[in-house]
Chain A
Amino acid sequence: MTDAPIRSRLDSDTVRNALLHVFLYGLAFLMAVPYLYTISRSFQPNELLRDPRPYWIPPLVGEPVTLEHYQYLVNNTLVVEWTINTFVIAGGATILIVVIDSMIAFSLTRLDWPGQSAILGLILASFMVPYYMNIVPLYQIVSDLGLINSYWGVILPAAASPLGVFLLYQFFKDIPEEYEEAARLDGFSTFQVYTRIILPLAKPILSALALFMFVYNWNAFLWPLLVLSEQTAYTLPIGLVNLYQGNIDTPGLHMAVAILGSLPLFIVYLLFQGQLVRAVQMQGATG
């Protein structure tokens, strides 16, 4: 990591640095506005929400805040169940995906066997098939396998997603061969190459994949909705939707649902993001 710029070019670099900060933080501010506003609105009573004037911090102008929307949600006892279901489904899918996708990406990039290109081509091509077209046949398969209303009925189709394979394929390709060659000379078996060389080196991208898949499966709505037929089995996004009217007569509740439904994900991200960074720094240092 380079230190402070050479003194003689201090001014222009400092200016550039400052501009960079301004740009990045300005962008961040703009990006944060929509959901900061949503968070604020989730604490406002419905009268304020109907007012065309936006209220950012109601107490500052003498208006009330309220917890009523959140209370309404939390008082519904199934929220806990739904959260657990969602953790299981999203977590299960994520783990399964990271494992099997890394295995095949490893096989496609590190091993040599006939038909590799064809398989890869097939996987990529299937990525382009729009999801909605598959729903009815997929449902019939899942039903035939007896997986309706079960976690597996949601997890297994999710694990078929080609995105992870494609992502890991692109990144595994870049891992230099020298590491493996050295390992092989040391007598590492294929399995050891996988676990001791590739996986650690690929940690940042594996973490990224895990993060994406967790988010995606947490938020997945249509497929779990179709497969899960009992309300105790619902995931959080589905369950929460049930609690308010289809139309917007309860705007505060909608906002609270939005926040509450996303909060666990945001927390998971905050916990996870350390993984992304630390791993990367380690790799950069040894590189």
Chain B
Amino acid sequence: MGLTERFTGGADTTKRKTVAGFRKETIEGIVWSLPYLAVFAVFLVWPALRGLYMSLHTYPNKFDLSQTEWVGLQNYVELFNDPVFYNAMEGTFLFVAISVPLLVILGLVMALGVNKNVAGKRTLRAIYFSPYVLTVAVVTLVWVQMYSTSFGLINYYLGFIMENPPGWLTSTNLVMPALAFMTVWWLVGFNFVIFLAARQSIPDRLYEAAQLDGAHGWRAFKDITLPQMRNSVVFVVMVQFILQFQVFAQPYVMTQGGPKDSSDTLVYYLYRSAFSQQEFGYGAAMGYVLVAILIVIAIINFKVIGDSND
């Protein structure tokens, strides 16, 4: 159980004085979990297992999925020899490397900033969160316009201070950063709300006590805020990695993976394989490789940031 515990930070093993014995608690535990687990098993686990099954087969007739051919790990082998896969991986890693740190740090900074004695908190909160309510179709629409070289807002104003404003979505070097930046704008509200909730649930008395010790500002942040918020940081980092690794809609809608496949991503490639070409076996194999990558990242995340049990 060592690894699972590391992974999950160990389930809470509070010894509670219950009236009845251990057995009652087990039953209770399971009963309380059942509603979610039922839905979870039917609508998530089962399809995912089917996916695993699919990754080990090929489907000669895509219109009759009951015709399958066992191929073992062949899909995976093919995948690891696929240059498109590696290119997509590269693109995804680049995107994640830019977007996740920004999403986490910016969200944290915003939450801590708003938490202070700032005028107009409500307005600030609303503005910080509101891009999050936009659907991806809207966000891509807005930003395709913003990034346009001939009609875009950004380059219009940049044009006043520089000769040739760059082509954000048309440059192989800038396209991923541009997509990442847009994603940060869009999604940072999520982290902001969580960090704010976490920050605000830190009892004031901790800070008051620290103040008496002469610690404030950076010290208080380091010794009180961060440790107290550790669980939320773990959560946010983990979730952002998982979500941003699965980036798909932005390149799909805005650049179709271009220019020259420089904005191709894993899930976009998966979508093309599984949906566009209906190569389910191959697409599923890709999906599971992604799962494996994310599990590794999750383990690293828990090890590095750790988990507070007190």
Contact = CB atoms under 8 A, between A and B. Distances in A.
Whether both chains belong to one complex is answered with yes
Contact of B43 (A114, A156, A261): A156
Contact of A103 (B35, B248, B270): B35
Contacts of A99: 35
Nearest to A32: B127
Contact of B235 (A114, A123, A170, A277): A170
Interface residues of A, number: 109
B153 A262 contact: no
Contacts of A110: 12, 14
Given A124-B7, A130-B270, A184-B18, A283 B25 contact: no
Contacts of A142: 43
A80 interface: no
A23 B32 CA distance: 46
B298 A283 contact: no
Contacts of B8: 117, 120-121, 124
Contacts, number: 304
B44 A104 contact: no
Contact of B133 (A20, A119, A266): A266
Interface in A78-108: 99-101, 103-104, 106-108
A128 B201 contact: no
A281 B290 CA distance: 41
A269 B127 CA distance: 11
B51 A119 contact: no
B203 interface: yes
A20 B257 CA distance: 39
Contacts of A167: 194, 235, 239
A273 interface: yes
A104 B37 contact: yes
A280 B201 contact: yes
B93 to A, nearest CB: 16
Given A1-B204, A138-B43, A171-B231, A132 B283 contact: yes
A107 B211 CA distance: 37
B128 A28 contact: yes
A269 B126 contact: yes
A1 B115 CA distance: 11
A54 B51 CA distance: 48
B264 to A, nearest CB: 15
B interface residue count range (under 10 / 10 to 19 / 20 to 34 / 35 or more) = 35 or more
Contacts of A20: 113, 116, 118
B123 interface: yes
A interface secondary structure, majority? helix
Contact of A121 (B4, B15, B131): B4
B295 A262 contact: no
B193 A211 contact: yes
Given A34-B142, A112-B16, A284-B204, A208 B118 contact: no
A59 interface: no
A273 B128 CA distance: 12
A57 interface: no
B11 A134 contact: no
Which 8 residue pairs spanning A and B have beta carbons closest together? A113-B29, A133-B287, A287-B203, A137-B50, A107-B32, A128-B294, A219-B135, A134-B47
26 contacts: A21-B119, A31-B185, A34-B146, A35-B134, A103-B32, A108-B11, A112-B16, A113-B26, A118-B4, A119-B33, A126-B44, A126-B45, A126-B48, A129-B44, A130-B291, A133-B48, A133-B288, A159-B43, A161-B44, A174-B201, A177-B14, A177-B16, A185-B17, A208-B193, A262-B133, A269-B126
Given A24-B113, A132-B270, 8 more contacts: A104-B37, A114-B26, A121-B8, A134-B50, A160-B43, A177-B16, A204-B201, A255-B141
Interface of A: 1-2, 17, 20-21, 23-25, 27-28, 31-35, 37-38, 52-54, 99-101, 103-104, 106-114, 116-138, 141-142, 156-157, 159-163, 165-167, 170-171, 173-174, 177, 180-181, 184-185, 190, 194, 204-205, 208, 211-212, 215, 218-219, 221, 237, 241, 254-255, 257-258, 261-262, 265-266, 269-270, 273, 276-277, 280-281, 283-284, 287
